Amino acid sequence: MSCVFCRIVSGEIPANRVMENDQVVAFHDLGPKAPVHVLVIPRRHVVNVGSAGPEDAEALGAVLLACREVAEACGVAESGFRVVLNTGPAAGQSVDHLHAHVLGGRSLGWPPG
């Protein structure tokens, strides 16, 4: 298994986990871009939104619901948070395993990037 996020899911690689359930794992990003920067990944390997199909609907929904839970756990649900899903290298996706970035704890400008 060469996917670093699959290795985190399996416990082979440690991560500072915020929450997990039977469908997702959420952990702090090693290179945070905001005071709160947590990655939420499905336990099942899905490359990205662009490769997702109808069979991935439950995993995608679980990721988004977990983003809300992470925001609450990290204290940014009330003040506001951003959820980012990069798809492909031109968008900044550096790991080929779907992951949502939950960012908060400071004002986030618009447009991004």
Options 28, 37, 97, 99, the catalytic residue: 99
- Measuring CA to CA, how many Å separate 13 from each of 26, 31, 83? 14, 16, 24
Element containing residue 83 per DSSP (H, E) = strand 81-84
Is residue 105 left, alpha or beta, with left meaning phi > 0 and alpha meaning psi from -120 to 50?
left
Q: Which two tokens stand for residue 90?
A: 């031109």
> Residue 37 catalytic?
no
Residue located via tokens 């990655």? 39
Alpha helices, H only, 1-104: 4-10, 57-73
**Which amino acids are annotated catalytic?**
99
